[in-house]
């Protein structure tokens, strides 16, 4: 049954055959019927023509009034046997106007009256009727071999008359016609069969081509899907490995870093001024390098933890988060005489800690990369209904970003400025990782000397990659 459901070709074929079978059967029945009645009509006409003609030559209206008996019967019966009964005509009966049997090949019923016989009455009303019977009379079993009998009832109308004087009943064999019907039926079926095969062949070729195309497309799609899934699995594995690597590397680096950093600081404290000036300078470089290394490793650790220590997304009130962040940055804000304004911020599905981190990094950058004017930072959020997401913007009036750097700033450890001032370069990479973990995108628009606006999106429903 499965092949029936899946294979279009099989389905089509089955439907075709069933339909054709139904049509064939229906047509056969209908045709048979019509062929039959045509045949019957012509047979009946033929029978009537022969028998009536001959009988009217020997009968008179007077004969139809009295049942035949004795010598009269014998003569008439011989006549009938000789000139009317044949391989086509089995026997006849003659009925008087009142329903009395005037003549029959069975003498016993002569004189009997059957005035209410249906066919008789119809014939009397000048309507020729035909009744088809399978003969079953004792002593007449042989007639079955000769086929079906049909009984034709026709009115006897004399030449000068207009009224029937009696009814003629002719029992006519049917078989030759049965053969004819069978022949005709075969012919019709054969031609139908050929037509059907041609039609089917044509249709099937079309369907087959379509079916092949569908199959092929499905196969291609399945392959593409598999490739995609494999790629996803490989990427996920690679991602996890990278995160683990970043975490382990930065975590295990802490200890040797601590040794270097602490002892060099100890050296500095203990021996400052006791060694020569060069030594002091050398020590200063080491201390500084160690400090920067420590900061970078911590940032790397934080970056790797965005994925691994992320919490489940919950509804978070951005306004509250922002207020807390501003509070924790109060000193820097005051020192730099910053003005921070915000539009009403929504509640979104997020990891609260990470969102705070994101806000903090963006604001810290705005302060750090300020121009000579006091920094003005404006934060807003817009609902983008079509894409089902919130669009946040952090606009500042800082020094701006050069066009060639705009794409690079979100990379890890990318520096726009020389050396060690102003940040290690992971802050924006962390921002991007956080935004992407929430299922959004982050980008920046900026003009040198005018300021920068950082945009990021947060989807309204959970669409993140955990």
Binding site for other proteins (CB under 8 A): 254-255, 257-259, 261-263, 265-266, 269, 291, 294
Task: Burial-class residue 82 by CB neighbours within 10 Å (0-12, 13-18, 19+).
Answer: exposed
Residue placing its CB nearer to other proteins in the complex, 295 or 378? 295
Q: How far is the CB of 308 from other proteins (least distance, A)?
A: 12
Nearer to other proteins, 154 or 261 (CB): 261
| Residues 56, 5: Cα–Cα separation, whole Å | 72
The structure tokens listed for 258 are 């601590």
User: Closest distance between other proteins and the C-beta of residue 464, in Å?
Assistant: 23
Cβ-contact 77, 93 below 8 angstroms? no
DSSP state of 103: E
What CA–CA distance (Å, rounded) separates 383 from 318? 14
Q: Which is nearer to other proteins, 269 or 277 (CB)?
A: 269
Tell the smallest beta-carbon distance from residue 421 to other proteins (Å). 20
- Can you name the residues that pair with 347 across neighbouring β-strands? 317
Q: Pull the structure tokens for residue 229.
A: 């899934």
Cα 174 from Cα 35, distance rounded (Å): 13
Which residue number, 254 or 336, has a Cβ lying nearer to other proteins? 254
Residue with tokens 């609902």: 383
In terms of residues, how long is the chain? 466
Q: Closer to other proteins at the Cβ: 208 or 271? A: 271
Minimum gap (Å) between residue 296 Cβ and other proteins: 12
Q: Give least dist CB 250 to other proteins, A.
A: 12
Nearer to other proteins, 294 or 453 (CB): 294
Q: How far is the CB of 262 from other proteins (least distance, A)?
A: 4
Q: How far is the CB of 247 from other proteins (least distance, A)?
A: 12
Burial per residue of 330-352, b for 16 or more beta-carbon CB atoms within 10 angstroms, e otherwise: eeebeeeebebebeebbebbbbb
For 247, phi and psi rounded to 5 degrees? Answer: -65, -50
Would you say 148 or 302 has its CB closer to other proteins?
302
- 397 touches 367 (CB < 8 A): no
């Amino acid at each position: 049954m499965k092949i029936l459901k899946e294979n279009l070709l099989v389905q089509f074929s089955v439907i075709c055959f069933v339909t054709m079978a139904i049509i064939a059967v229906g047509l056969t029945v209908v045709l048979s019927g019509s062929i039959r009645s045509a045949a019957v009509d012509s047979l009946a006409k033929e029978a009537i023509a022969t028998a009536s003609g001959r009988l009217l030559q020997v009968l008179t209206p007077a004969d139809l009034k009295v049942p035949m008996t004795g010598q009269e019967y014998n003569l008439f019966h011989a006549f009938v046997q000789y000139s009317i009964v044949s391989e086509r005509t089995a026997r006849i009966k003659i009925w008087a106007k009142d329903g009395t049997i005037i003549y029959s090949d069975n003498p016993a019923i002569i004189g009997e009256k059957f005035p209410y016989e249906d066919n008789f009455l119809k014939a009397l009303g000048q309507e020729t009727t035909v009744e088809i019977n399978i003969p079953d009379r004792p002593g007449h079993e042989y007639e079955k071999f000769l086929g079906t009998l049909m009984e034709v009832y026709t009115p006897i109308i004399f030449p000068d008359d207009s009224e029937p004087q009696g009814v003629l009943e002719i029992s006519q064999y049917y078989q030759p016609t049965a053969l004819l019907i069978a022949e005709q039926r075969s012919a019709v079926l054969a031609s139908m069969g050929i037509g059907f095969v041609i039609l089917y062949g044509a249709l099937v070729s079309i369907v087959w081509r379509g079916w092949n195309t569908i199959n092929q497309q499905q196969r291609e799609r399945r392959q593409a899907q598999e490739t995609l899934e494999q790629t996803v699995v490989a990427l996920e594995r690679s991602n996890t490995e990278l995160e683990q690597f970043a975490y382990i590397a930065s975590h295990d680096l802490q200890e040797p870093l601590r040794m270097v950093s602490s002892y060099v600081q100890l050296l500095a404290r203990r021996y400052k001024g006791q060694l020569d000036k060069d030594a002091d300078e050398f020590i200063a470089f080491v201390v500084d390098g160690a400090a920067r290394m420590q900061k970078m490793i911590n940032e790397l650790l934080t970056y790797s933890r965005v994925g691994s220590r992320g919490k489940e997304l919950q509804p978070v009130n951005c306004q509250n988060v922002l207020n807390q962040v501003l509070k924790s940055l109060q000193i820097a804000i005051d020192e730099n005489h910053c003005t921070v304004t915000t539009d009403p911020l929504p509640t979104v599905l997020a990891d609260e800690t990470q969102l705070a981190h994101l806000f903090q990094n963006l604001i810290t950058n705005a302060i750090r990369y300020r121009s000579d004017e006091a920094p003005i930072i404006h934060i807003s959020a817009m609902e983008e209904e079509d894409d089902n997401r919130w669009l946040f913007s952090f606009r500042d009036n800082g020094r701006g970003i050069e066009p060639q750097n705009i794409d690079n700033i979100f990379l890890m450890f990318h520096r726009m400025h020389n050396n060690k001032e102003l940040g290690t370069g992971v802050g924006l990479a962390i921002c991007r990782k956080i935004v992407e973990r929430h299922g959004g995108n982050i980008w920046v628009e900026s003009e040198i000397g005018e300021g920068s606006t950082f945009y990021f999106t947060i989807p309204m429903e959970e669409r993140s990659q955990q």
